[in-house]
């Protein structure tokens, strides 16, 4: 059985020190538990939500009676700390046992300092950078009065129709596991109770992303072998890194809702991995076991969830309303209830709410948008942007005297924030237009034109000052205004030396409950790009989106193409630096980009087939437009032929020499892939990432990279959770992305 510590070693990650998860005073836990009434115990397992003063007043009554132990604190940044202190005061001064509350929030990629969406962060292929970004998020989140973040998302992204791919780290289990562990370290540090750290939550456990048709909240169908080798590794890495909590998913796999999946929540999570934190449901998902057709009624939903190992119920109230009667009838064991309460109390102690129940309402103002936070946000944005095409137009030359920046996302601050932006504000964002105005030489003129709407029909949306998205029926598209904008944009394009088009999808079209059937540019943006390309001027396209879009025509029409995701507060300066060559493009795709909608789901690490040369479509190749791991820079790299050597005192090593053959310094990400040619317990994928190394080389400089062919590289997990390394034939690659490289044969003579 692969234990969490072994997994971290195999991933090349540092082990968590004993001090990382503070010891819990079990005497205190047991003393509290012994003095609790049944209602107070159930209250510790019940989570509410507060946004307004009226909700705080109503919640105070429940807290006073010990009927709520936790709240989602989704109030504005200005009110959050005050609301927390008001409710905490009730808990500590008016409730019978004085048990403090714990407050959670979805700080996914920042609180006030908004970073690139997680899919963008993953494109940096830099676990240390992800850790630093999440540490900034933790500092601001804790200052706002929140102890506990519902992140990182550990789901595997294989279908870009699913809107929540934006919150994932991409399609690869190894990359996802490395970044999930880094996120936990960033959020929790060495002590999740520290004043600049928060408790982390691994979500959504498990298989939520395998939703049928890419439709959110849908059924999932995950085989045991895929569960072990594709969907569980990131969660296991997060557990090994010390995450204090896990969130069960919205999905149902094989007909069993994740919130009631005893095998996943108890046998694997706690039995195999030794997880000793607590599990919280997703929003009303306990009650939704009825809608799935698994639970007959609210009582059954509560009983099945608690029995499976789901400790806390988010928002819905089936625990509160039905557990007392079930316990009285003997349908549930009191010991089961007690153990769930113990887990929650331990979580509160580890998160520091007993030691520091209140927060300073002025704390957030002191730490929000600090210089180091903005510098990290800018670095993360720059490192996340992927150069997908360049015929030499980039970097922009100082000789370009007139630039036309055209598109609905050229100067839209709110759209840069992306999905789940925390409390990032449009006023904090530096847009591409604003950044270019600051960066351009004095002799260069910048014309900024809107061009067309992101959405051409129906009411638009707009961002409020707190970053939330609301419908704005008053902003219906005016036909006369739209025609004038279009004409003005084309006129600016004809006058320009270079055109930069800023296009993509609305941020409200990615994230939760934002599935898409078509992955093309929204509105009339495709037509706008075609018109801009028809001018014959060099066209640089910057795409802002929360998922891979179908960019086949965009790539064909443009001279240069960059994928900028939704980059956060500092996306504009990061892009300006890349466009002018002040910084090298270093991003690499963490997810494949399809050529057509009909190709999805599409991912590089797919299973073998019996007829591997006969799997193309009649009308299209099976290959993606841009493969996993792909990304260009402003120089060229040559990867030499790989070779394998076997030292006398260690495992065999695959190595190659990489040379910068261009004229500029640059960075490449050497990616190490493995294929097990024959696996006795089930065919493994055609390729699997098992390591990478980032190299920065001067022109003409060469360096050797090497990767051990050890247990971590060659092994897999069987259906029972055992880590196996079978002797036999393998293929290995060292390549700049998953779509290239020559496989090198290797034979392992005996099991490791």
Q: How many residues does the chain have?
A: 752
| Distant-in-sequence, close-in-space partners of 259: CB < 8 Å, separation ≥ 6 | 248, 249, 281, 282, 285, 286, 288, 289, 305, 308, 310
Angle between helical axes of 26-35 and 334-351 (0-180°, round to 10): 130
Chain centre to alpha carbon of residue 730: 31
Longest dimension (CA), the chain: 82
- C-alpha distance from residue 712 to each of 174, 717, 729 (Å): 11, 11, 16
Phi, psi dihedral angles at 708 (to 5 degrees)? -75, 140
CA dist 246 and 239 (Å) reads 9
CA dist 746 and 82 (Å) reads 62
| 302 three-class SS | helix
Encoded tokens for 709:
């062919």
Q: Tell me if 145 sits within 8 A of 80, measured CB to CB.
A: yes
Q: Tell me if 232 sits within 8 A of 269, measured CB to CB.
A: no
Residues carrying an active site annotation? 282
Q: Tell me if 152 sits within 8 A of 594, measured CB to CB.
A: no
CA dist 144 and 79 (Å) reads 9
Listing DSSP states for 30-59 in one string gives HHHHHH--HHHHHHHTEEEEE-SHHHHHHH
Encoded tokens for 731:
């293929």
Q: Where are the alpha helices (DSSP H) in 191-333?
A: 224-226, 233-240, 262, 288-291, 298-308, 318-329
Nearest to 406 by CA among 487, 471, 511: 487
| 363 three-class SS | helix
HEC-encoded secondary structure of 66-111? CCCCEEEECCCHHHHHHHHHHHHHHHHHCCCCCCCCEEEECCCCCC
Block residue for tokens 């089961």: 336
Nearest to 452 by CA among 510, 407, 413: 407
CA dist 570 and 464 (Å) reads 19
Listing DSSP states for 558-619 in one string gives -SEEEE--S--TTHHHHHHHHHTTSS------SS-B-SSGGG-S--SSPBP-SSTTS-S-SS
Peptide bond into 139 cis (omega under 30): no
**First CA to last CA across the chain, in angstroms?**
14
């Amino acid at each position: 059985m692969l234990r969490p510590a072994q997994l971290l070693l195999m991933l090349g990650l540092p082990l968590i020190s004993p001090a990382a998860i503070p010891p819990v005073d079990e005497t205190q836990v047991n003393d509290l538990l012994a003095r609790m009434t049944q209602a107070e115990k159930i209250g510790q397992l019940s989570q509410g939500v507060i946004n307004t003063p009226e909700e705080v007043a109503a919640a105070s009554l429940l807290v006073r009676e010990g009927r709520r132990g936790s709240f989602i604190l989704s109030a504005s940044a200005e009110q959050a700390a005050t609301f927390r202190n008001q409710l905490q005061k009730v808990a500590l001064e008016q409730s019978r046992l004085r048990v403090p509350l714990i407050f959670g929030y979805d700080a996914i990629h920042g609180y006030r300092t908004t970073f690139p969406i997680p899919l963008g962060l993953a494109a940096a292929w830099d676990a240390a950078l992800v850790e630093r970004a999440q540490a900034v998020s933790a500092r601001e989140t804790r200052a706002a009065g929140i102890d506990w973040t519902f992140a990182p998302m550990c789901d595997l992204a294989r279908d870009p129709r699913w809107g929540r791919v934006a919150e994932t780290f991409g399609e690869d289990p190894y990359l996802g596991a490395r970044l999930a562990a880094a996120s936990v370290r960033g959020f929790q540090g060495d002590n999740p109770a520290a004043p600049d750290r928060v408790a982390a939550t691994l979500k959504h456990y498990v298989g939520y992303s395998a939703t049928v048709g890419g439709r959110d909240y849908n059924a999932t169908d995950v085989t045991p072998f895929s569960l072990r080798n594709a969907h569980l590794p990131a969660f296991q890495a997060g557990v090994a890194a010390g995450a204090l909590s896990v969130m069960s998913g919205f999905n149902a796999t094989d007909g069993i809702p994740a919130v009631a999946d005893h095998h996943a929540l108890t046998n694997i999570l706690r039995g195999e991995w030794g997880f000793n934190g607590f599990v919280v449901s997703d929003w009303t998902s306990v009650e939704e076991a009825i809608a799935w057709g698994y639970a007959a009624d609210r009582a059954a939903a509560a009983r099945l969830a608690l029995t499976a190992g789901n400790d806390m119920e988010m928002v819905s109230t089936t625990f509160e309303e039905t557990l007392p009667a079930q316990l009285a009838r003997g349908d549930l064991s009191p010991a089961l209830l007690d153990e769930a309460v113990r887990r929650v109390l331990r979580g509160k102690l580890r998160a520091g709410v007993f030691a520091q129940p209140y927060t300073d309402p002025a704390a957030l103002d002191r730490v929000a948008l600090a210089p180091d936070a903005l510098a990290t946000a800018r670095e993360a944005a720059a490192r996340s942007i992927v150069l997908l095409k360049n015929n030499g137009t980039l970097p922009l030359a100082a000789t370009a005297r007139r630039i036309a920046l055209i598109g609905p996302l050229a100067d839209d601050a709110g759209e840069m924030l992306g999905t789940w932006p925390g409390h990032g504000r449009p006023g904090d964002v530096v847009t591409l237009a604003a950044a270019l105005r600051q960066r351009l030489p004095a002799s260069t003129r910048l014309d900024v034109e809107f061009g067309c709407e992101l959405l051409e029909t129906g009411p638009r949306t707009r961002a409020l000052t707190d970053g939330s998205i609301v419908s704005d029926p008053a902003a219906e598209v005016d036909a006369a205004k739209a025609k004038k904008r279009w004409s003005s944009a084309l006129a600016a394009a004809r006058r320009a030396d270079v055109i930069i088009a800023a296009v993509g999808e609305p941020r409200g079209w990615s994230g939760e409950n934002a599935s898409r059937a078509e992955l093309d540019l929204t509105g009339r943006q495709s037509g706008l790009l075609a018109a801009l390309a028809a001018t014959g001027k060099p066209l640089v396209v910057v795409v802002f989106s929360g998922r891979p879009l179908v960019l086949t025509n965009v790539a064909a029409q443009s001279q240069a193409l960059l994928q900028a995701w939704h980059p956060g507060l500092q996306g504009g300066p990061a892009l300006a630096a890349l466009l002018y060559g002040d910084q090298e493009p270093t991003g690499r795709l963490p997810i494949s980009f399809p050529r057509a909608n009909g190709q999805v789901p599409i991912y590089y690490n797919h299973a073998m087939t019996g007829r591997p040369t006969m799997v193309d479509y009649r009308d299209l190749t099976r290959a993606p437009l841009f493969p996993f791991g792909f990304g260009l820079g402003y120089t060229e790299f040559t990867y030499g032929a790989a070779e394998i050597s076997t030292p006398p005192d260690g495992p065999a090593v695959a190595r190659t020499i990489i040379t910068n053959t261009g004229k500029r310094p640059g960075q490449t990400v050497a990616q190490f892939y493995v294929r097990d040619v024959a696996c006795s317990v089930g065919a493994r994928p055609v390729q699997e990432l098992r390591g990478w190394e980032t190299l920065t080389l001067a022109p003409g400089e060469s360096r050797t990279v090497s990767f051990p062919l050890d247990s971590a590289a060659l092994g897999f997990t069987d259906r029972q959770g055992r880590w196996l390394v079978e002797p036999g034939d393998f293929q290995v690659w060292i390549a700049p992305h998953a779509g290239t490289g020559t496989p090198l044969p290797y034979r392992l003579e005996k099991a490791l």
